[in-house]
Structure 1
Amino acid sequence: MTGRPLRILLAMCYLVHRTGAEMFTRDLALWLRRRGHAVTILATAFGDMADELRHASIACITDVADMAARPDVIIGNTHHETVRALLHFHDVPVLTICHDRSAEHGRPPQFSQVVRHIAVDENCAERLVHEFGIEREHIELIQNGVDLSRFLPRTPLSAAPRAALVFSNYASHDAQLEEIRAACAERGLTLDVIGSGTGNHLPDPAAALGRYDVVFGKGRCATEALVTGNAVVVLDPSSGMGEMVTAATVAHARRWNFGRALMTRPITRQNVMAELDKFDAQDAGEAAAWMRANGGLDATLCALEACVRRVTDGREIIAVPAEQRAREMARYMDDWIRRGSATTAHLGLASLHQHVAGLHQALNDHHRAHQTQIEAWHAESQRQSEQAAALAVKLQAAEAALAAASTAHAALSARLDEAGSRLANAERQALDNTASMDARLREVYASRSWRVTAPLRQISTFIQARVQRP
């Protein structure tokens, strides 16, 4: 770090939902603290990010009077909180950042203490010029950056996309989301949604982005997806849709922060499918490489720190005449009365957002529980189906073996019948032969020659007996 450490007060409406402006404020505070500056954040309401910030030795306050030490500079991110800070520290130089083209919090405080205006994209710069009469040369363009150490490059995209993601806090289960889902289904892609609007809020989406080929998002979400290496379609359910970001268009789209000015078409199934058909893995890789080279957080915050240095060098005290201060305060009060109490509105809105986010999260938890049960039932049904199929195969094999055994038995029976028949024939033939021989013997015994030769047989028998005697 060059120059002395500064005491810096960041003003923000609230740090609750991790929107683009909220995450910018968080990243800026952490980066400035690492650079050795003393950082305090003033906000109307804080969420769980306050624990993370305080752990990093960053003060988080809701009442500007709680800050005893005078800051060297005020960096205002939202209108009324910036005014609260500059009225309390009435001689401190102020630098304001316009994060949104249309939101109330993006209106620049019109006080003499404001010595520099910053716009995060050309759309916000146009707002400052055309709605508030700020000359373009007094506006510095410093675009949002992404922490490249958190959002690491994913593996190269496959030739054909398989998984898509709607990455937006403004997405909800409505007709626009169904159009996107139908288009993805028709092109063979699965679709998930990450964002507080659907109750699926991820504090750190960096690890999840690598699971998807195509990401639908705007602003910071689109930037994070691009540096990860996803193919990105500029789209947000609250604003409409633009086109697939390509290597040829990424620089232009970046100057407009992948935002509302680029989303000029309605979200329809046909429009979404037309952008999905532009998917080109190699081109998406080239766009990601450009984005990593030009969209890092360090470059953004170094430019912002340099701007702070220019603001504070030689301007430690902003002396505003009492008359001018009164006129500026009267103008602000007139605007405040016409528009209503911003602090009350912010508190109510923050509370409502937290309540709605809680309801969404509970609904999403119930949905996940039911989905888990359905998947378990489906798995059990699948297992039983597989067992039934295996049993059917075994039954078919047994039936086939039984049929083969029956055929073999029939063949054996036929052979046995044939053998029995042949045996019976042989037996009859033997009996017939025996009877024939018996008849012939009887004829011999009854013949005259047998009787005449009887003495000769007796002599032969006598001789044989004498010969055999020892």
Structure 2
Amino acid sequence: MTLPEAVSNPDSTKSGKPLHILLAMCYLLHRTGAEMFTRDLAMWLRRRGHAVTIFATAFGDMANELRFASIACVTDLADMATRPDAIVGSTHQETVRALMHFHDVPVITICHDRSDDHGRPAQFAQVARHVAVDENCAERLVHEFGIARERIELIQNGVDLARFPRRGELPTKPRTALVFSNYASHDSQLEEIRAACVQRGLSLDVIGSGTGNHLPDPAEALGRYDIVFGKGRCATEALCTGNAVVVLDPVWGMGEMVTAANVAHSRRWNFGRALLVRPITRETVGAELDRYDSQDAAHAASWMRATGGLDVTLGALEDCVRSAVLQHPVIEVPAGQRTEEASRYVADWIRRGYPSAAHVNIASLHQHVAGLQQSFNEHQHMYQARIEQLEAQAMRQQAETRLQIEQARADADARISEAEHKTHQARAELAQLQAQLREVYASRSWRVTKPLRRISTLVQSNAPRS
């Protein structure tokens, strides 16, 4: 498929001019990798001075955050009053809906997933660039949709380094571990991971909506752990934080401990599904835990922070968008070609059985479930905080009681010690007096004067009494 001739538009191709960019995404509900990519991209582009609108079927709590940052969020493209300069589509159907509504706007499609229908590229003449977030997605575009590899740009997901500051140095021996995944649940896979950790004296926590412990902002929590199990974006965020990372997904399997030697290769495959080639057992997990090396993990983290920040990754995507707008500011597609492309899309849509109403209902249900999970999680945290408060209060009372007992015991010991000291002194004085008395009895003067003392005693006893 070839692009039609670009129509010159000097105003819109002016280098460095802020653009109006429309981001198309299925929904923003669960803070998955593609959803967080869209959020980060929107916030970053806005900070760069661009006007940003997000089109999605449904929004969750992220909508308030985005609108607070002056980013428009719409579920109906008819609500947009102005034509965008470019469309960046992360999911198939929403990208197609956006380009059919704005039929002369250049489009950049992004493939985030190797297998899901969301990752299928929109194959319309308006598509000026195809982007893959890793080599696995690039292979899909080549082998499943016949897109030439030279037409595909590899632009990987980045991490907001300001939100994910680097933790302190890792300990020589790890103490804490974390499963960081929305797909983790309390099943046999998690128990295998836990068993391997227990064998090595590691405590294990789980963060993710699958276990009801969803954290909207996990950045602060990551700094409390030494080893993190995760894939994709979760692994990237953990590496940037400075954790030792084992590539693992509770559904798909596990890979290796990320090291300074393999971090570049693993990153190119997005720490993702293509690397998850082994089953999760306590033996395979334990083997990777035994490879823990705090210094090597620090080198891998430094490489990740140097290459995986938003300024690097999203800067490349911004250049891609600018290039597309410069080359094709307005794309005029002949009516016949547009009709043919639309007919092909509708035929494919019917063949695949995409009921749009069902999609909306599913998205609404997802949003409702996410709200329930979040509410449950908040109540769980509230009750846990209360339990911890009561436990802390009980521990303080126990400590105070122990202190009082110890103080009373110390006072009693002091009194006993004082009494023993006085007894010892009295005994010493008595012994001294007894020794002196023995000396007097043993003296010669006592023997000489003894008869005289006897006579004196007799005289006194016989003396008349007045």
**TM-score bracket relative to the smaller structure:** 0.7 to 0.9
Spell out the pairing of 1:14-29 with structure 2 (5 A cutoff): 14-29=27-42
Spell out the pairing of 1:144-293 with structure 2 (5 A cutoff): 144-293=157-306
Structure 1 unaligned residues grouped into runs of 5+: 420-435, 442-470
Shift of 1:37: 2.0
Shift of 1:279: 0.9
CA distance in 2, matches of 1:152, 1:377: 33
* Residue-by-residue CA offset, 1:366-414 (whole Å, 9 max, x unaligned): 5445544554565566567667877887999979999xx99x99xx9xx
Asked if residue 69 in structure 1 is aligned to residue 82 in structure 2, the reply is yes
Name the residue aligned to 1:122.
Answer: 135
Name the residue aligned to 2:7.
Answer: none
CA distance in 2, matches of 1:260, 1:56: 33
Shift of 1:49: 1.7
CA distance in 1, matches of 2:65, 2:407: 61
Distance 1:371 1:113, change over 3 A: same
User: Contact 2:29–2:370 (CA<8 Å) still a contact in 1?
Assistant: no
* Residue-by-residue CA offset, 1:316-349 (whole Å, 9 max, x unaligned): 2222222222222122112211223353343223
CA distance in 1, matches of 2:161, 2:399: 47
Distance 1:369 1:4, change over 3 A: closer
CA distance in 2, matches of 1:310, 1:129: 22
Name the residue aligned to 1:329.
Answer: 342
Counterpart residue type for residue 95 of structure 1 = I
User: Contact 1:197–1:360 (CA<8 Å) still a contact in 2?
Assistant: no
SS at match of 1:32: helix
CA distance in 2, matches of 1:30, 1:365: 26
Root mean square deviation of aligned Cα: 3.6
Distance 1:345 1:298, change over 3 A: farther
CA distance in 2, matches of 1:393, 1:39: 67
Shift of 1:112: 1.4
Worse-matched range after superposition: 356-365 or 279-288 = 356-365
User: Contact 1:213–1:231 (CA<8 Å) still a contact in 2?
Assistant: yes
User: Contact 2:214–2:377 (CA<8 Å) still a contact in 1?
Assistant: no
Shift of 1:43: 0.8
SS at match of 2:167: coil
Distance 1:89 1:30, change over 3 A: same
Name the residue aligned to 2:111.
Answer: 98
CA distance in 2, matches of 1:51, 1:25: 15
Structure 2 unaligned residues grouped into runs of 5+: 1-13, 435-453, 460-466
* Residue-by-residue CA offset, 1:58-107 (whole Å, 9 max, x unaligned): 22111111122222211111000000011111121111000111111111
Identity of aligned residues (%): 70
Asked if residue 297 in structure 1 is aligned to residue 297 in structure 2, the reply is no
Worse-matched range after superposition: 371-380 or 48-57 = 371-380
Counterpart residue type for residue 347 of structure 1 = V
Spell out the pairing of 1:124-143 with structure 2 (5 A cutoff): 124-143=137-156
CA distance in 2, matches of 1:152, 1:17: 23
CA distance in 2, matches of 1:254, 1:245: 9
* Residue-by-residue CA offset, 1:104-161 (whole Å, 9 max, x unaligned): 1111111111121100000100111111111111111011111122221111111111
User: Contact 2:58–2:367 (CA<8 Å) still a contact in 1?
Assistant: no
Worse-matched range after superposition: 7-16 or 187-196 = 187-196
CA distance in 2, matches of 1:372, 1:206: 20
CA distance in 2, matches of 1:108, 1:252: 25
Distance 1:384 1:32, change over 3 A: closer
CA distance in 1, matches of 2:380, 2:17: 53
* Residue-by-residue CA offset, 1:240-276 (whole Å, 9 max, x unaligned): 2111100000000000001111111222222222211
Spell out the pairing of 1:402-421 with structure 2 (5 A cutoff): none
CA distance in 1, matches of 2:127, 2:21: 15
User: Contact 2:53–2:71 (CA<8 Å) still a contact in 1?
Assistant: yes
Counterpart residue type for residue 282 of structure 1 = Q
Asked if residue 82 in structure 1 is aligned to residue 88 in structure 2, the reply is no
2:49 equivalent among 2, 27, 36? 36
Distance 1:134 1:228, change over 3 A: same
Shift of 1:223: 0.8
* Residue-by-residue CA offset, 1:194-246 (whole Å, 9 max, x unaligned): 22222222222222221111111111111111111111111122222111100
Shift of 1:189: 1.7
Name the residue aligned to 2:443.
Answer: none
Q: TM-score, normalised by structure 1?
A: 0.81
CA distance in 2, matches of 1:387, 1:34: 54
Name the residue aligned to 2:359.
Answer: 346
* Residue-by-residue CA offset, 1:286-325 (whole Å, 9 max, x unaligned): 0011111111111111111111122122312222222222
Counterpart residue type for residue 343 of structure 1 = S
Distance 1:268 1:326, change over 3 A: same
Q: TM-score, normalised by structure 2?
A: 0.81
User: Contact 1:41–1:61 (CA<8 Å) still a contact in 2?
Assistant: yes
Distance 1:6 1:158, change over 3 A: same
Higher relative contact order by CA 8 Å / sep ≥ 6: 1 or 2?
A: 2
Distance 1:14 1:315, change over 3 A: same
Distance 1:184 1:330, change over 3 A: same
Q: Which has the larger radius of gyration?
A: 1
Worse-matched range after superposition: 257-266 or 178-187 = 178-187
SS at match of 2:158: coil
CA distance in 2, matches of 1:363, 1:174: 20
Asked if residue 311 in structure 1 is aligned to residue 311 in structure 2, the reply is no
SS at match of 1:313: helix
Distance 1:65 1:362, change over 3 A: closer
Counterpart residue type for residue 33 of structure 1 = R
Distance 1:203 1:381, change over 3 A: closer
CA distance in 2, matches of 1:220, 1:214: 16
Name the residue aligned to 1:47.
Answer: 60
Name the residue aligned to 1:356.
Answer: 369
